[in-house]
């Protein structure tokens, strides 16, 4: 190996190249080669950067950056937490939950109702999501280590999974009943949906590949591959199982069991299972009758199912169950039984005592669905309204048990309008083309429309979800207008046909050219003009109530509404 000797200058001095930079090798310098006087290289620049002052500056930058980052994250977490709890408080006021439940259980419960009644803007209700929240809430209510203390298994003669909630408070049982009813409604909409256990994905009914479904349907867009039968199971249980558990749960009141019975029978009627539906309707009526055994006379005629006037005012549960049973019989075509029941119900409702007038609440708490304030002047105070957001609203008092007769409120008058609508429809449909019966049925329909429109202006509105009375009144008004238009349209067409026949008969007689027009302008022409005029009245009425039927509400704008024009 050959060694490379250092170079020498002309005067014999040895040049130390390792202390010189490459740019300074071309010429000699007379000054000493000191580090701070030489041209900086990459190595010397790096060494000169890590000075003690520079190290302290880097430490300070790192420490200060970490401090600012933690403060920003902490402020963001506090802001998110405040917004989260504010949103939970708003949902809690719309869908109250029992105070004795834990916070997570209450959150699951109200999220189930919010997902059902307030889906995201531009979307429909996701019943899969609703069922997910109610299932999680019920699992915590059944767990004795969380919120299911003193909840026992029901006797063996009850359906599997039934719980005994007799030891729990009324508020706890009421919330538990709401969760079970919400799950039952989910099972109705999600009947037949399957869960692919290998992919943890839910598919609609009819898309599964297997021996039980030889002709599967196409899967919806966004899902990859149809599920196989051996990998699938039903996502939700049958609605029959849930409703039977509710009806067999010890601790529920009669009014709650009646509500579940009517919902169960309505679902069976929708599925076309008329026999069991009729039995459940009749059981609900008998349960309502048994609540008041000390009446002067029997409340119900066992043969005609009509109300007995000598027994006094009927209870609210009896009116509700008997109305549902009568409409069911009418849908089944048994108008001979349904019509007397409906007439007796309408007569009983019109004889109820009138409710005293009450002031409508105007505060934010009342608008969100909680108890109304005691003082209307304090409700309009901005400070009071602000303090309501930081004060937990009381859980609503238990509703009436339905054993007492109701009073004639705006909601009850909407029920009267619905009864008039049913009576008019039955009389018109079973008239056998008799003009008098048709006219009478049309008169009942007109009266129902007038009453429904009048009461719809009276009932209070809710900015988030209308009460059931207002929803029923709106449906009654829409159905009444539709029936009215259909009845008059049919009568107008028949009158037009009679007018043409009369005109043809007149032209066929002698001197038809002289008196044919007069003969054609007889009874048929008068009826045609009458029904056309009434059709114009219906069109004007539909335009007038369009806003009441549509019930338009401004869509939520979110957080960005503060910076939008």
Over residues 285-341, the pLDDT tens digits come to 999 999 888 776 788 888 899 998 888 889 999 999 999 999 999 999 999 999 999
The CATH number of the domain where 433 resides is what?
1.20.58
Closest C-alpha among 232, 196, 183, 235 to residue 212 = 232
Range of the domain at 542: 409-557
Asked if the model's pLDDT at residue 58 lies above 60, the reply is yes
pLDDT digits (tens, 9 = 90+) for 528-545: 888 889 999 999 999 998
Res 374: pLDDT:
39
How far, in Å, CA of 404 to CA of 313, rounded? 9
Res 280: pLDDT:
96
Asked if the model's pLDDT at residue 519 lies above 60, the reply is no
Asked if the model's pLDDT at residue 552 lies above 70, the reply is no
In a domain, 500, yes or no: yes
Res 42: pLDDT:
55
pLDDT digits (tens, 9 = 90+) for 241-267: 999 999 999 999 999 999 999 999 999
Res 7: pLDDT:
56
Res 383: pLDDT:
67
Judge contact between 258 and 288, C-beta under 8 A: yes
Mean pLDDT of 6-23: 54
In a domain, 128, yes or no: no
Q: What is the domain count for the chain?
A: 1
Res 419: pLDDT:
93
Res 101: pLDDT:
95
How far, in Å, CA of 178 to CA of 395, rounded? 14
Judge contact between 183 and 135, C-beta under 8 A: yes
Torsions phi, psi for 196 (to 5 deg): -80, 110
**CA quadruple 328, 329, 333, 337: dihedral positive or negative?**
negative
Res 506: pLDDT:
58
- Considering the chain, what is the average pLDDT of its residues? 82
Mean pLDDT of 387-409: 84
In a domain, 458, yes or no: yes
Dihedral, CA of residue 284, residue 287, residue 292 and residue 294, to nearest 10: 130
Asked if the model's pLDDT at residue 60 lies above 60, the reply is yes
Res 171: pLDDT:
95
In a domain, 127, yes or no: no
User: How crowded is residue 130: how many other Cβ atoms within 10 Å of its Cβ?
Assistant: 24
pLDDT band at 372 (very low <50, low <70, confident <90, very high): very low
How far, in Å, CA of 559 to CA of 195, rounded? 36
Res 357: pLDDT:
66
To the nearest 10 degrees (0 to 180), the angle between helices 335-350 and 410-429 is 150
How far, in Å, CA of 281 to CA of 279, rounded? 5
Res 363: pLDDT:
35
Torsions phi, psi for 203 (to 5 deg): -120, 150
Helices (H), 118-209: 127-142, 170-189
In a domain, 553, yes or no: yes
In a domain, 492, yes or no: yes
Res 507: pLDDT:
55
Res 373: pLDDT:
36
In a domain, 451, yes or no: yes
In a domain, 465, yes or no: yes
């Amino acid at each position: 190996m050959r060694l490379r000797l250092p170079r020498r200058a002309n005067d014999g001095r040895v040049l130390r190249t390792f202390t010189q930079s490459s740019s300074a090798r071309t010429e000699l310098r007379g000054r000493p080669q000191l580090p701070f006087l030489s041209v900086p290289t990459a190595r010397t620049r790096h060494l000169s950067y890590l000075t003690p002052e520079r190290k302290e500056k880097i430490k300070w930058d790192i420490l200060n950056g970490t401090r600012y980052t933690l403060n920003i994250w902490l402020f963001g977490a506090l802001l998110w937490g405040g917004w989260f709890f504010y949103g939970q408080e708003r949902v809690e006021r719309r869908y109250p939950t029992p105070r004795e439940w834990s916070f997570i259980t209450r959150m699951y419960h109200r999220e189930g109702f919010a997902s059902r009644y307030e889906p995201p803007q531009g979307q429909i209700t996701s019943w899969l999501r609703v069922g997910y929240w109610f299932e999680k809430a019920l699992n915590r209510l059944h767990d004795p280590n969380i919120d299911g203390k003193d909840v026992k298994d029901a006797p063996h003669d009850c359906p599997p999974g039934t719980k005994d909630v007799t030891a729990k408070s009324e508020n706890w049982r009421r919330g538990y009943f709401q969760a079970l009813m919400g799950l039952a409604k989910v099972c109705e909409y999600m009947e037949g949906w399957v869960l692919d256990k290998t992919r943890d994905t839910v598919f609609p009914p009819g898309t599964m590949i297997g021996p039980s479904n030889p002709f599967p349907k196409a899967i919806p867009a966004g899902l990859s591959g149809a599920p196989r039968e051996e990998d699938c199971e039903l996502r939700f249980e049958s609605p029959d199982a849930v409703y039977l558990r509710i009806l067999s749960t010890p601790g529920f009141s009669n009014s709650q069991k009646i509500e579940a019975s009517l919902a169960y029978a309505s679902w069976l009627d929708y599925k076309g299972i008329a026999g069991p539906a009729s039995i459940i309707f009749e059981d609900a009526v008998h349960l309502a009758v048994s609540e008041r055994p000390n009446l002067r006379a029997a409340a119900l005629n066992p043969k005609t199912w009509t109300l007995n006037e000598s027994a006094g005012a009927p209870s609210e549960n009896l009116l509700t169950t008997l109305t549902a049973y009568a409409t069911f019989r009418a849908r089944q075509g048994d108008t001979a039984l349904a019509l007397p029941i409906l007439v007796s119900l309408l007569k009983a409702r019109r004889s109820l005592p009138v409710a005293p007038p009450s002031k409508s609440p105007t505060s934010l708490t009342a608008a969100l669905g909680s108890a109304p304030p005691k003082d209307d002047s304090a409700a309009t105070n901005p400070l009071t309204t602000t303090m309501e957001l930081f004060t937990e609203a009381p859980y609503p008092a238990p509703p009436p048990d339905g054993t007492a007769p109701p009073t004639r409120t705006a909601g009850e008058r909407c029920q009267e309008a619905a009864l008039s609508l049913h009576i008019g429809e039955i009389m018109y449909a079973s008239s056998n083309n008799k003009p008098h019966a048709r006219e009478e049925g049309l008169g009942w329909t007109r009266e129902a429309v007038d009453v429904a429109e009048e009461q719809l202006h009276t009932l209070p509105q809710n900015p988030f979800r209308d009460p059931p009375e207002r929803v029923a009144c709106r449906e009654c008004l829409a159905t009444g207008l539709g029936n009215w238009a259909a009845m008059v349209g049919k009568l107008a067409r028949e009158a037009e046909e009679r007018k043409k026949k009369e005109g043809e008969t007149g032209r066929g007689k002698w001197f038809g050219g002289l008196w044919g027009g007069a003969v054609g302008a007889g009874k048929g022409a008068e009826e045609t003009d009458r029904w056309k005029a009434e059709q114009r009245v219906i069109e004007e009425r539909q335009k007038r109530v369009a806003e009441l039927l549509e019930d338009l509400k401004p869509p939520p704008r979110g957080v960005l509404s503060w910076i939008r024009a």
